[in-house]
Structure 1
Amino acid sequence: MGRFKTIAAVCTTLFTLVLAGCSGLPSSAQMPPSSEMDVEAYEIGVGDTIAVHVWRNPELNQTIVVRPDGFISMPLMGDVKADGKRPEELATEVGTALSEFIRTPEVSVMVTSPASKEFRSRLRITGQVASPQSVAFQPGMTVLDLVLIAGGVTDFAADGRAVLHRQVDGEYKSYGLNLAAILTEGDMKTNHTLQAGDVISVPRKQLFRGEL
C-alpha cells in the first residue's frame, strides 16, 4: 500500500510540474524593468484643465476644461481639438490660428489638472488578496508594497502562480510572478519595481494542480 502512495505522490508532483511548465507565461525576470521604460510625453485628455496663455494678449488667456468630446473653445477660433495632443502641439496649433488675427502670437499651454490620467496612473491588485485595491502610483513602489497594501494574500491564494500584467509597446503582456518566494522565503528576486498601469492578479488554488 505504501508503494502505491509513493507512486501516486510522484505522479502528482510530475503532473503539477507539467502544468506549471505549460502555463505559457514568461518569467517576470524577462520583462522590461520599469527603470528602463521611456517616459512618454504627456498627452492632453478629456477632463484635463489646461491654461492657454497668449503673450501680450491677456483677453485671449483661458483656463479651460477639455470637454467630453475632446474639444475646447477659444476666443476668435471657436472649437479646437485638444484631446490626444501634447501641450506644445496644441500651443503651436492655437498660435497658427491666431496669427490670422494678431501679429506673431506667442502661445503657451500648460496642463494644470491632469484629471484624464487619474486612472491611467494607478496600480491594481486583484484575486486572492485580503482587499483588492486600485491605488495611486508612486515612484519606487514594489510588488511587495502593493501586496501589503492589499492586506496580503488569502489562505486560498496560489501565490506561486501570481501574474504581473504590464503594458509593453502599447499592449498588456503577462509575466509569471512568485509571491510565495517573496512572502514566505524572503526571496526578493521577483520583488520588482512597479510602473504606472501595472496589474497583479493572484489566482485561487486548484485541486487538479495539487494545490489543495
Structure 2
Amino acid sequence: MILAGTAALASDIPDGVGPPADPVSQNYTLGIDDKLSLTVYGEDGLTGEQQVGPDGSIAVPLIGKVRAEGRTVDAVSAEIRDRLAAGYLRNPSVSIAILTFRPFYILGEVNKPGEYAYRKGLSVAEAVATAQGFSYRARKKYVFVKRAGASEELKLELRPDLLVMPGDTLRIGERYF
C-alpha cells in the first residue's frame, strides 16, 4: 500500500525531481544529524553511536573523520572497512545501522512551526498535526515541499498519501480571503 502511495505521489512531481528513496532502503543517503550505530565486530573500542556532524562526517576511532553526508550506509561501511584494513585490523567486519533520521521542518501557517523528529511513514497531514494543526489563515489544499538537498520547492496537493522524508522542509501557505 505504501508503494502505491509513492507511485501516486511521483505522478504529481515534475520529471527529474522524483520522491526520495524510502529511508530504510539501502539507497537512502545520509545527512547531517542522522544518528548511526557503528559496529566493528570483535572490536568493542571501535563500536558505538555516531552522529553525522555539521561538516557531514563521522569520527571513527583510529582512522579519524569519514565523510557520510550524501552517501549510503553501504558506501560509508565499505570505506571504514577498507581504511581499518589498511594498517589497523585484519579483515574487519563493519556494519552501520541508522538509529534516528535527521529532523524535518514545518513552517508557515501552522500553530507551532519548527523542527520535529522524523519517523518512518510520516504523512504531511500527520506532520501538520504534530505542529498543532493549521492556523486559521492556512491554505489547506496545497503544501510546499523542499526535499533535503533539493534546490527547488515543489507545490503539491495535500493528500493522505503524501509522505515526509528526513530533512524535508514543509511550508503551509496563507489563504487569501
CA contact (8 A) 1:53 1:61 kept: no
Equivalent-residue separation in structure 1 for 2:12 and 2:156 (angstroms)? 9
CA shift for structure 1 position 172: 3.6
**CA RMSD in angstroms, aligned pairs only:** 3.9
- Residue 92 in structure 1 maps to residue 82 in structure 2: yes
Secondary structure of 2:86's aligned partner? helix
Q: Deviations over 1:113-140 (max 9, x none)?
A: 75xx65x2x2221111011242222222
Larger radius of gyration: 1
Instruction: Tell me: CA distance 1:52–1:45, structure 2 relative to 1, closer, same or farther (3 Å).
Output: farther
For structure 2, the 5+ residue unaligned runs are 1-10, 69-74
CA shift for structure 1 position 148: 1.6
Aligned to 1:201: 171
CA contact (8 A) 2:107 2:113 kept: yes
CA contact (8 A) 1:87 1:111 kept: yes
Aligned to 1:29: 12
Could you tell me the TM-score, scaled by structure 2's length? 0.62
CA contact (8 A) 2:46 2:60 kept: no
CA shift for structure 1 position 70: 5.0
Could you tell me the TM-score, scaled by structure 1's length? 0.54
Instruction: Tell me: CA distance 1:98–1:43, structure 2 relative to 1, closer, same or farther (3 Å).
Output: farther
Matching residue's letter, 2:154: Y
Q: How many corresponding residue pairs?
A: 153
More helix by share: 1
Aligned to 1:4: none
- The list of structure 1 runs, each at least 4 consecutive aligned residues, that deviate by more than 4 angstroms after superposition, is 34-39, 41-49, 64-71
